[in-house]
Structure 1
Amino acid sequence: MNDEMNMNDRTTDLRQQLIDTARRMAAAGLTRGTAGNVSVRAGERGGGFLITPTGMAYEAMESEDIVFMRLDGTAEGRRKPSSEWRFHRDLYRHRAEAGAIVHAHSPFATSLACLRRDVPAFHYMIARFGGDSLRCAAYATFGTQALSDAALSAMADRRACLLANHGMLAFGDDLGQALDLGVELEALCEQYWRACQLGEPVLLDAAEMRTVLGKFASYGQQA
């Protein structure tokens, strides 16, 4: 009985953390209105994830509005899940390190995505996402399995990608890191866009990016 109560308490807390993260995403300028979505891996009822509902303003959300989804694609709750639940599910299925996911239609990431451009190694912080570039996934209609497949391909060995004519997608170990990576991705897209207004950015070569990737392996505060 105590274990069940503790699980319920943890789930309620995680739902509120999810809502808080969605609101912080909007406050950071990554999304407007009801666009975008956030999810977090959850251990309840055999495993799955919690995700924001479709078409609902973040400020109006309550804990009970958050949808629990199993990895088989079935949903539980009083609301319908985000229309993009497929790429959330597939990332949790295929990327064990994914603890939370953010998707946004942020201005600069979306602008580059509409050009269907990868973001090359114009700045060493690109390495924070796991490679020497940020890829742009092939276009597919929103909410489809085809879009999820394209996103998974673009995120091979990466923690983020652009979605052609759509927006951005990023995952982290937890909600805090996922949001941080989303903010960093938008900042890099803005910097690249601005640099391109003045000319062709000078790119870091493969050898330097290998060095930077090695340094990022121990970057930040270590446990």
Structure 2
Amino acid sequence: MTKAPKKKKKLAKARKTRDREEMRLRQEVVATALAMSRSGLSPGSSGNVSARFADGMLITPTGIAYADIKARDIVFVAGDGKVPGKQKKPSSEWQFHLAAYKARRDMGAVVHTHSLHAVVLACAGRSIPAFHYMVAISGGIDIPVLPYATFGTEKLAQNVGRGLADRQACLMAHHGAIAIGKTLRDALALAHEVEILAEQYTKVLAIGPPAVISEEEMRVVLDKFKSYGQQA
């Protein structure tokens, strides 16, 4: 007779814990989107932010200025792409956010920006090569440009999923940049780093063809990055 009440109590506690975690993530998604916008990484209402949650994700809504978004406006999209219950419409780019999570089970956040220099390179179809060793922060020897596809389409989602399989940051042709991380803080920091590298690279190109670090040396850098900072 005592098993049923104990089970109910345990389930209630689990639901309460999940609800607290969901609210924390909702607030963090809002804060990250605001930080992204205010830093100039995504002018106007461009770009979007999400965090992995349950079997899906929590993502910024479409058509609402970042300054006006509240925690309750963040949209839960299930792993199958469905939006349960009565919620706002999710970002039009929700498909490639889900694709990123499916491609990288080890990552918990996505930040997509329309930052100036990243967009310039993406529109020129130029990947960011190893002109500087910090390019390795993307997880590879360069920051590639993914093939163009119409925004909000399954094709673009497929491109993003493939591109992020062995990178944590990519440019998207004629579109912008995408960065992923274990946390929202990590993903936003990487998005900032990508924009800095994009700006530096565009200025190098103004001088002439860039000198590029060898692939062998970049492999050494990538290995050193595994224990970089507080990760050791």
Q: What's the TM-score, normalizing by structure 2? A: 0.92
Shift of 1:151: 1.7
In the alignment, does 2:35 pair up with 1:8? no
- What residue is the counterpart of 1:177 in the other structure? 186
Deviation readout 1:91-142 (Å, 9 max, x if unpaired): 1112111100000111000000000111110000111111111110001000
Query: Is 2:154 the partner of 1:145?
Result: yes
Q: What count of residue pairs does the alignment treat as equivalent?
A: 220
Alignment-derived partner of residue 9 in structure 2: none
**2:112 matches 1:103:** yes
- Match of residue 68 from structure 1: 76
> Which residue of 2 is the match for residue 212 of structure 1?
221
- After superposition, the CA RMSD in angstroms is 1.1
Q: Does the residue aligned with 1:179 lie in a helix, a strand or coil? A: helix
- Give the Cα–Cα distance (whole angstroms) in 1 for the partners of residues 207 and 224 of structure 2: 30
Displacement, 1:83? 0.4
CA contact (8 A) 1:102 1:170 kept: yes
Could you tell me whether the CA contact under 8 Å between 1:135 and 1:155 is conserved in 2?
A: no
Aligned with 1:9: secondary structure?
helix
| Distance verdict in 2 for CA 1:7–1:156, change over 3 Å | closer
Contact 1:35 1:55 in 2 (8 A): no
CA deviations on 1:132-163 (whole Å, 9 max, x unpaired) are 11110001000001111112222231001101
| Contact persistence 2:102–2:161 (CA under 8 A) | no
Structure 2 equivalent of residue 193 of structure 1: 202
Query: Given residue 25 of structure 2, which amino acid in structure 1 is its aligned partner?
Result: L
* Deviation string, structure 1 residues 153-182 (Cα, Å, up to 9, x no partner): 222310011010000011000100000000
- Listed as ranges, the gaps of 5+ residues in structure 2 are 1-11
1:113 aligned counterpart, secondary structure: helix
Match of 1:35 in 2: 46
> Within 2, Cα distance between the matches of 1:189 and 1:56?
28
Matches within 5 A, 1:10-29: 10-29=21-40
Q: Which runs of 4+ in 1 moved over 4 A?
A: none
Deviates more, 1:198-207 or 1:137-146: 198-207
Amino acid corresponding to residue 200 of structure 1 in structure 2: P
Percent of residue pairs identical: 46
Of stretches 60-69 and 90-99 in structure 1, the one that deviates more from structure 2 is 90-99
Q: Deviations over 1:167-207 (max 9, x none)?
A: 00110001000000000000000000011111111100111
3-state SS in 1 of match to 2:230:
coil
The equivalent residue for 2:173 is 164
CA contact (8 A) 1:170 1:182 kept: yes
Displacement of 1:222 in angstroms is 2.6
Does residue 113 of the first structure (1) align with residue 122 of the second (2)? Answer: yes
Instruction: Give the Cα separation in 2 of the matches to 1:183 and 1:94.
Output: 22
What TM-score, normalized by structure 1, do the two folds share?
A: 0.96
Q: Which has the larger radius of gyration?
A: 2
C-alpha separation in 2, matches of 1:111 and 1:29: 15
The answer to whether residue 60 in structure 2 is matched with residue 49 in structure 1 is no
Where structure 1 has 5 or more consecutive residues not aligned to the other structure, the ranges are none
